[in-house]
Amino acid sequence: MDNEQTLNYAVKLDIFEGPLDLLLFLIKKNEIDIYNIPIALVTEQYFQYLKMIKDINLDLAGEYLVMASTLIHIKSRMLLPPPEEPEEEEEEDPRAELVRQLLEHQRFKEAALSLKERPLLERDVFTRAALPPEEAEKMTVDEEELIEVSVFELIEAFHRVVSQLDRKELLEIDLEKLSLTDIINEIMDQLSVTKSSTFEDLLKGKRDRRRVIYTFLAILELIKLRMIKVYQTSVFGVIRIFPAVES
């Protein structure tokens, strides 16, 4: 039974991240030199993520498909044999324009993150980045090490959980009528008691593929609504989910 038959709800992925964010995620994950991107590897992984996104019933923005075409084009250019006679002007690396876009996008993301972390005084007015010494001393180690999780890390974690489920259990047909609102309320009720939960724990114990996917979509919706925060204590470490406002 495919997604269209089992799901009637979709989350637009472009609300959260874009294709350049996915490429930066893959570069970080593979510890790649951004100036020397192995296009074949990145293209293969990029398409793997697009498949995972489609399987989860997330709505792909058109930019993802444009970037897919760009990666294929760059890959094909790099497979061409070098000219027998050197040209007067050395041809630019086919990856150069993509690298420029990635670096510019990374700079804007870092600037936006820096502004986001500063207290808002008035509209469009921000304080300096440095904390007063007395406040810096109060900050705990855990607070310093918390890293915000990207949607692609959530997709990867979701895929790991699903791949570990019993195949027979995963294909079981559940005729229960699902409501995304009900699942959102279930998650918030659980967090109000436990105060936090690992991503895997929220997905475990679900009886069928449809419920697992709905739970994941509910988590994405809660992130979009800023009702929960998702962090790791280290890069690619355990993902933990917290209510945005402690009750």
* pLDDT tens track for 169-203: 555 555 567 788 999 999 999 999 999 999 888 88
d(CA 228, CA 216): 13
Positive or negative torsion for Cα 218, 222, 224, 228: negative
Residue at 1 is within a domain:
no
Residue at 212 is within a domain:
yes
Residues 51 and 164 in one domain: no
Residues 49 and 107 in one domain: yes
Query: What domain count does the chain have?
Result: 2
Residues 113 and 163 in one domain: no
DSSP class of 125: E
* Token pair of 85 as six digits: 């006679």
Residue at 4 is within a domain:
no
Residues 13 and 78 in one domain: yes
CATH number at 238 reads: 1.10.10.580
Residue at 45 is within a domain:
yes
Using the predicted structure, report yes or no on whether residue 237 has a pLDDT greater than 90. Answer: no
Residues 172 and 118 in one domain: no
Read off the pLDDT band of 241 (50, 70, 90): very high
Residues 172 and 236 in one domain: yes
Output the average pLDDT for the chain: 78
pLDDT in tens, 84-107: 666 656 678 999 999 999 999 999
Q: For the CA atoms of the chain, what is the radius of gyration?
A: 21
Beta bridge partners of 59: 12
d(CA 102, CA 237): 24
The torsion region of residue 101 among left (phi > 0), alpha (psi -120 to 50) and beta comes to alpha
Average pLDDT over residues 233-237: 76
For the question of whether the overall pTM of this predicted structure is more than 0.75, the answer is no
Domain that holds residue 65: 9-82+92-130
Alpha carbon 211 to its chain's center: 21
pLDDT in tens, 133-166: 444 344 343 444 678 888 898 888 888 887 776 5
Residue at 72 is within a domain:
yes
